[in-house]
């Protein structure tokens, strides 16, 4: 408790009463009254000044805290979106058909054009908010804002980089899967087509090979059966290639992980087992027939010649029909032109093939002539082969009908590839123009950021106009996206007319928008610094000229050696000695608190302005609170509510720790620890 001494100086009221009650007060009484009056009004003025200073400090702190909360919330939401999106992009669940994979491709296109662009804008806004907050903290002499763990701008950039890597991998996987499934569908169709032809050919062959008709046949009939069997062996050997092709296709389907490999393997195994059985039965029947070879004396050579020539010719026609019906997949003009050239070469062999067909039919005609001349009764069937002249003619007509159909299919594919080539050229023309535009604008922004044309407000206006001109180019980007969509829908996987890909151009466009926004933010922060520090335009020009002079590579930042040379040119004692190194290390800790090794222009002007301007300190705030507390080491809530606005008074009361000093009273608050915490010198 404060105790008044008996000899204490009279108060202003007491002195006023003394003067009023005295008829003619002396000079000493008047001087005493004036002195009391002066001290009373002087104390009131100090309290008002202290309260104003505290209000200013608290308002800045409240605004900064709100910006920190906004940054944390926005960063959390963006990182959460990235965390949810990456697993989707890393999902490699295989599909069974091309249509299923194209549906995934459409979902990915929606993600690129609908879901991602707003997040790009959020990321850009997050960086702008972070830079603005750091600038305001430096201007108010507050410590730099350190986001919570995992929410730094660098963390967000790293997560964004991971997201873009996942995007690229996902798109490459989709295209690879489409190619693989196309190949699988083509191979599966080819397998089933060849298997059906082979199964049709083998139908009834086992029954034929297991019959024992030679046991009751005449000598001539046995000889005929032996020749027929030789013709069958020739036909069997001719079909060996088809069996090997079927097995090879099945093996390739297994290697490419075809979803229905089980049924393919089962069918292939049945064909191979049946082929082995046919081979064994063929050898067994041949042995049986050879035992009666002596009985084979009368043989019709013409039938044998017919059979020997008809079998390979029939096999050739079957192969030609397979080729004419064969499905094909091409991706460029050269490939379809190669198929057309092969088809033209095939057509050039048709006249010789027709001569062979006529020669085979002439053999059968000669048989009929000889039989009629010698009164021989023919059974109507060639004992050495099942291939009849009618079947040869039927297959020949079928093959000839397939030729124009093949011509039409190849021409349609050629037209399609010409159309695809036009799509490639259209995309390449637009992509080359957009790529050159982005490169030119990036270089121009880099040049603008280091030039000193006009005031900062003029530069800001110019940059915003420049930003609008860049945004007006967006229809060209959208047009390019449309061209790229046509490219993908046409299943075009390469483009020899341009080195640009849509992915590269998307990244370049996003970087261009981010760069111009970041440059505008840097100029805005320079304006904040200039206004807060009272820096003249001439001083800013001088700072920029010095900075640009030592920024030799025009990167917009100075490395440690360049910054040191700049300081020496400005008169700072940072020469290469112990004292100079210590001073330079101190300065670098101010301009580069994150130890990145580079000094930006904003950090440079912050440092230069801080050397010549006044700034609030913790000691000044403590002194202001001490005045409000009546020179006590603590302050009461009522005193805060009396001297400060209500919201700032409650702000202090909520954050001040209880005073624990020996001279404290109940409810006393510690304004000293609160003041030092505002400037990062202690913890609240």
Kindly state the average pLDDT of the residues 509-525.
86
pLDDT on residue 684 = 47
- What's the confidence (pLDDT) of residue 475? 93
pLDDT at 449 over 80: no
More confident call, 586 vs 670:
670
Tens digits of residue pLDDT in 171-181? 888 888 788 77
Q: Which pLDDT value is given to residue 221? A: 75
CATH pick for 534-613 out of 1.10.10.10, 3.40.50.460, 3.40.605.10, 1.10.238.10: 1.10.238.10
Q: What's the whole-number mean pLDDT along residues 273-297?
A: 74
The predicted pLDDT at position 21 comes to 58
Calculate mean pLDDT across residues 570-591. Answer: 76
Q: What is the CA 119 to chain-centroid distance, rounded?
A: 13
Q: May I ask the CATH architecture of the domain 185-304?
A: Up-down Bundle (1.20)
Nearest to 650, CA basis, from 58, 5, 51: 58
Which one, of 575, 597, 577, lies nearest residue 588 by Cα?
597
* Residue 509's pLDDT band (cuts 50, 70, 90): very high
pLDDT at 378 over 70: no
Read off the pLDDT of residues 31-90 as tens digits, 9 standing for 90 and up.
Answer: 777 777 677 666 667 777 888 878 877 877 888 888 888 888 888 888 889 888 889 888
Least confident window among 352-366, 556-570, 611-625, 632-646? 611-625
Q: Is 491 helix (H, G, I), strand (E, B) or coil?
A: coil
pLDDT confidence of residue 42: 66
Least confident of 36-45, 185-194, 229-238, 344-353: 36-45
pLDDT at 612: 57
Predicted confidence (pLDDT) per residue in 6-29, tens digit: 444 555 555 555 555 566 666 776
- Nearest Cα neighbor of 289 from 209, 362, 359, 344 is 209
**What confidence score (pLDDT) does residue 294 get?**
55
More confident residue, 514 or 568: 514
Question: 402-410: long-range contacts (C-beta < 8 A, 24 or more apart)?
Answer: 402/321, 402/324, 402/325, 403/324, 403/347, 403/350, 405/324, 406/324, 406/343, 407/343, 410/336, 410/339, 410/340, 410/343
Instruction: Tell me the average pLDDT across 460-467.
Output: 86
For the stretch 572-582, pLDDT in tens is 777 777 777 78
pLDDT value, residue 144:
82
pLDDT value at residue 13? 57
pLDDT recorded at residue 507: 92
pLDDT at 18: 59
Q: How is residue 32 annotated by DSSP?
A: H
On the question of pLDDT at 333 being above 90, the answer is: no
Bridge partners (DSSP) listed for residue 598: 559
- Selected residue with higher pLDDT from 234 and 102: 234
- Sequence ranges of the chain with CATH classification 1.10.238.10: 534-613, 618-679
Other C-beta atoms closer than 10 Å to the C-beta of 155 total 15
Residue 297: is its pLDDT beyond 50? no
- Mean pLDDT within 487-504: 84
CA distance 250 to 226: 35
Q: 5 or 538: whose pLDDT is higher?
A: 538
Q: Which helix (H) or strand (E) holds 213?
A: none
Predicted confidence (pLDDT) at residue 527 exceeds the cutoff of 70: yes
Q: Is the pLDDT of residue 193 over 80?
A: yes
pLDDT at 296 over 50: no
586 pLDDT higher than 90? no
| pLDDT reading at 4 higher than 60 | no
Could you give the percent of the chain with pLDDT greater than 90?
A: 6
DSSP letter, residue 657: E
Number of Cα atoms under 13 Å in the Cβ half of residue 231: 26
Kindly state the average pLDDT of the residues 272-278.
87
- Is pTM beyond 0.75? Reply is no
What is the pLDDT at residue 472?
92
- pLDDT at position 6 is 41
Has domain 71-183 been given CATH number 1.20.58.60? yes
In which band, very low, low, confident or very high, does the pLDDT at 219 lie, cut at 50, 70 and 90?
A: low
Kindly state the tokens that stand for 487: 């490219």
Give pLDDT, residue 24. Answer: 65
Instruction: Name the residue among 592, 604, 588, 609 with its Cα closest to residue 547.
Output: 604
Q: Please, where in the chain does CATH 1.20.58.60 lie?
A: 71-183, 185-304
The matching CATH number, chosen from 1.10.3720.10, 3.40.50.300, 1.10.238.10, 3.60.15.10, for 618-679 is: 1.10.238.10
């Amino acid at each position: 408790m404060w105790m008044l001494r008996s000899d204490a100086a009279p108060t202003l009221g007491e002195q006023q009463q003394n003067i009023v009650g005295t008829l003619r007060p002396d000079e000493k009484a008047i001087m005493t009254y004036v002195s009391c009056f002066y001290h009373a009004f002087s104390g009131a003025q100090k309290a008002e000044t202290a309260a104003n200073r505290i209000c200013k400090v608290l308002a800045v702190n409240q605004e900064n805290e709100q910006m920190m909360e906004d940054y944390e919330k926005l960063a959390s939401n963006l990182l959460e979106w990235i965390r949810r999106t990456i697993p989707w992009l890393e999902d490699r669940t295989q599909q069974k058909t091309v249509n299923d994979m194209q549906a995934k491709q459409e979902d990915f296109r929606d993600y690129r054009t609908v879901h991602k662009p707003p997040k790009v804008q959020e990321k850009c806004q997050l960086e702008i908010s972070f830079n603005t907050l750091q600038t305001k903290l430096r201007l108010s002499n507050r410590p730099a804002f350190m986001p919570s763990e995992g929410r730094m701008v660098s963390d967000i950039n790293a997560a964004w980089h991971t997201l873009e890597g996942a995007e690229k991998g996902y798109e490459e996987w989709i295209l690879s899967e489409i190619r693989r499934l196309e190949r699988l569908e083509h191979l599966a169709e080819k397998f089933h087509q060849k298997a059906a032809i082979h199964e049709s050919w083998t139908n009834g062959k086992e029954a034929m090979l297991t019959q024992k008709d030679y046991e009751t046949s005449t000598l001539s009939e046995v000889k005929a059966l032996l020749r027929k069997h030789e013709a069958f062996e020739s036909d069997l050997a001719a079909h060996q290639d088809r069996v090997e092709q079927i097995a090879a296709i099945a093996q390739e389907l297994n290697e490419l992980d075809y979803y229905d490999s089980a049924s393919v393997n089962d069918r292939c195994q049945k064909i191979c087992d049946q082929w082995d059985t046919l081979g064994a039965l063929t050898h067994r029947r041949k042995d049986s027939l050879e035992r009666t070879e002596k009985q084979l004396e009368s043989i019709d050579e013409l039938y044998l010649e017919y059979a020997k020539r008809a079998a390979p010719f029939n096999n050739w026609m079957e192969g030609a029909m397979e080729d004419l019906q064969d499905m094909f997949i091409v991706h460029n003009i050269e490939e379809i032109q190669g198929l057309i050239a092969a088809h033209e070469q095939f057509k050039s062999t048709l006249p010789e093939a027709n001569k062979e067909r006529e020669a085979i039919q002439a053999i059968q005609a000669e048989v009929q002539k000889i039989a009629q001349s010698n009164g021989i009764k023919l059974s109507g069937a060639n004992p050495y082969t099942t291939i009849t002249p009618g079947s040869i003619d039927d297959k020949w007509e079928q093959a000839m009908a397939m030729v124009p159909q093949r011509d039409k299919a190849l021409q349609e594919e050629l037209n399609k590839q010409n159309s695809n080539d036009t799509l490639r050229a259209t995309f390449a023309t637009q992509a080359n123009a957009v790529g050159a535009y982005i490169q030119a604008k990036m270089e121009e922004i880099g040049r603008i950021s280091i030039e000193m044309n006009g005031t900062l407000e003029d530069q800001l206006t110019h940059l915003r106009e420049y930003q609008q001109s860049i945004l007006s180019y967006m229809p060209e980007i959208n047009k390019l996206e449309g061209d790229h969509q046509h490219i993908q829908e046409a299943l075009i996987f390469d483009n020899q007319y341009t080195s640009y890909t849509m992915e590269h151009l998307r990244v370049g466009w996003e970087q261009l928008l981010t760069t111009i926004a970041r440059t505008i933010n840097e100029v805005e922060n320079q304006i904040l610094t200039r206004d807060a520090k009272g820096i003249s335009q001439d001083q800013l020009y001088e700072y920029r000229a010095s900075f640009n002079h030592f920024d030799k590579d025009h990167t917009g930042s100075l490395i440690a050696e360049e910054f040191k040379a700049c300081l020496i040119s400005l008169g700072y004692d940072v020469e290469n000695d112990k004292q100079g190194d210590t001073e330079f290390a101190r300065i670098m800790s101010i301009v580069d608190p994150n130890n990145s090794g580079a000094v930006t222009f904003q950090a440079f002007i912050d440092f230069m302005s801080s050397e010549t301007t006044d700034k609030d300190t913790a000691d000044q705030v403590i002194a202001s609170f001490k005045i409000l507390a009546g020179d006590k080491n603590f302050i009461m809530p009522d005193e805060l509510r009396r001297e400060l606005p209500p919201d700032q008074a409650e702000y202090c009361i909520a954050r001040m720790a209880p005073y624990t000093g020996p001279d404290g009273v109940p409810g006393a608050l510690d304004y000293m620890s609160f003041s030092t915490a505002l400037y990062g010198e202690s913890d609240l």
